[in-house]
Structure 1
C-alpha cells in the first residue's frame, strides 16, 4: 500500500475544504433555503413553483437553482418539455434537517409559537417526522424492533414490519435503517429505507394524507386510532 505524501494529503484537504465551502455557499441565501425546504417534501418541483414559494421572480429563481445544482444539492429532471427539480438524495435532506435543528436552537423561538401542524407530523424527505414519528421510534426502541444505534432493524423488527405490510427493499443501496434527529423534537425518528417504507404504508392505508407542495402531514381519524393501537402514539387533541 502506498502512503500519501504530504503534498498529496494537502491537495486532498484543499479539495475537501473547497467542496464543503461550495455546499455552504449554495445554501447561504434565504431564497435558496426556502426552495430546499420546499423540496424536503420529497417530490419534484418546477422552477415556477419554486420561484413562487421563495417569493422571487422566475429569472432570479433560475440563478438560485443553478447555484444549488452547482453545490450538488438538487437535480434537474426533464420530462417532455417540462423540467423538475428535486433534492439529490436523502443525505441532503438529512443535512437540511440537522441545520434546521441547530438554527432552531440558536433562534430560541418561544415554544408557544412553534408551528403546530409541522410539529405534530411532517415529511422529512421520504419519511415521517415530528411528534408522531418520534413516538413511533420510541416505541420501536422499547419493543426492540431496532438496534441500539438505530442503524438496523432487528429480526423482531423485520417480522413486525412484515406483519404490518411494510415492504422493505432488500436491494436498497441506502441505509436500511437510520436514526434521524428530529429538528423540532430534538429526538430521533426513523429514517433510511425502513422509514421510507413505513411512510408509504401509512399513506397507502389511508392513515395519513399529504398535500402536494407542503411538508405537513395530516393524520386521519383511522390513522390516529391505528397509531395508538400499534405504537401507543397519543396525539394532542385525541
Structure 2
C-alpha cells in the first residue's frame, strides 16, 4: 500500500540519501569549517579518486547541498549555506562517535574538542566557554545583546547593526556535539568568530575545522585559563 503524504510534507528522503553515502558525508564534513575547497582536496580528504569525487560532487550540487565558487579557471566547493551546516551538526549530535584507533586520530579528536568552527561560528570547549563569558559579563541575556554587550562587541570589530539585518537567527544557542552544552550560533556567532580571527585571538588549526586559541585570545577571552569541559568564567569587577 502506497504511503500517503500531506501536500505540505517535506520530501526529506532524497536529501537524507545524499548525506547517507560515506564519501559524500566525508566531503560535507570537510566543508563544515566554512571554507571552499577544490575537488582534488575533497577527494584526498574522502580517500577517493578524482573521478569518484567529481561524481559525488555533481550529486551534491544537484541536491543543492553544495555550491561552486569560481576563481579564474579554478572551481571550489563550499556548503550551500548555514542551513546545510545546521543539519550536519544535528546529525553529528545524534550519531555515534567513531572509534579512535591511532595516536593521530586521538590528537585530531582532542584538537576538535578544544576548539573548532561549527561552519562559521566558534565551537568546542572554546565556543562553550565564550558563550558562558558573554552571559557572565552581562553582555548577552536570553538570546539578546544588552547595551553593554553591544558596546563591547563593537569595540572588537563586530558590526552589530549589520548582524541584526542578516537573514538568519540573531543569536541562538547551538548545542555543541562534543560538549553537549550550548555555544553561540546564528548571525552574531558568525560575526563574532570573524572578528576573533581578524584580531588574531583565534587562528586556523593544523587540521580541517580545528581552531587554536592564541595566547592573546586566551588572555582576552578567558583570563588566561586553560580550557576544560567546565571552565569557570570569572565576571569582571
TM-score greater than 0.5 by the shorter chain: yes
The alignment partner of 1:123 has SS state of strand
CA contact 2:31–2:78 (8 Å) conserved in 1? yes
In structure 1, which of residues 39, 48, 62 is the aligned counterpart of residue 31 of structure 2? 39
1:12 aligns with 2:4: no
Deviations 1:3-39 (A, max 9, x none): xxxxxx83333xx1x3x11110110111111101110
Alpha-carbon distance in 2 for matches of 1:214, 1:208: 14
Q: Across the two proteins, how many residue pairs are aligned to each other?
A: 219
Per mean C-alpha deviation after superposition, the further-off stretch among 162-171 and 39-48 is 162-171
Alignment partner for residue 68 of structure 1, among 60, 74, 82?
60
Q: Which residue of 1 aligns with 2:231?
A: none
1:104 aligns with 2:96: yes
Alignment TM-score, normalising by the size of structure 1 = 0.82
Rounded Cα–Cα distance in structure 1 between residues aligned with 2:207 and 2:31: 8
Alignment of 1:166 with 2:168, yes or no, is no
**Residues 37 and 78 in structure 2, CA contact (< 8 A), matched pair in contact too:** yes
Unaligned runs of 5+ in 1: 1-8
Q: Which whole-Å CA distance do the structure 1 matches of 2:15 and 2:135 have between them? A: 34
RMSD: 2.6
Counterpart pick for 2:183 among 184, 189, 200: 189
Deviation per CA, 1:59-106, whole angstroms, max 9, x where unpaired? 11111112212222111222221111110111111111111111136x
Q: Match for 1:222 among 190, 193, 216?
A: 216
1:79 and 1:167 map into 2 onto residues whose CA distance is 28
SS at match of 1:185: coil
Distance of 1:27 and 1:53 partners within structure 2: 16
Q: In the alignment, which residue of structure 2 is the partner of 1:23? A: 15
The alpha carbon displacement at 1:211 in A equals 4.4
SS at match of 1:40: helix
Give the corresponding residue for 1:4. Answer: none
Match of 1:6 in 2: none
Normalising by structure 2, report the TM-score.
Answer: 0.83
Distance, in Å, in 2 between the alignment partners of 1:37 and 1:146 is: 30
Is residue 117 from structure 1 mapped to residue 111 from structure 2 by the alignment?
Answer: yes
Give the drift of 1:158. 1.7
Any gaps of 5 or more consecutive residues in structure 2?
101-105, 229-237
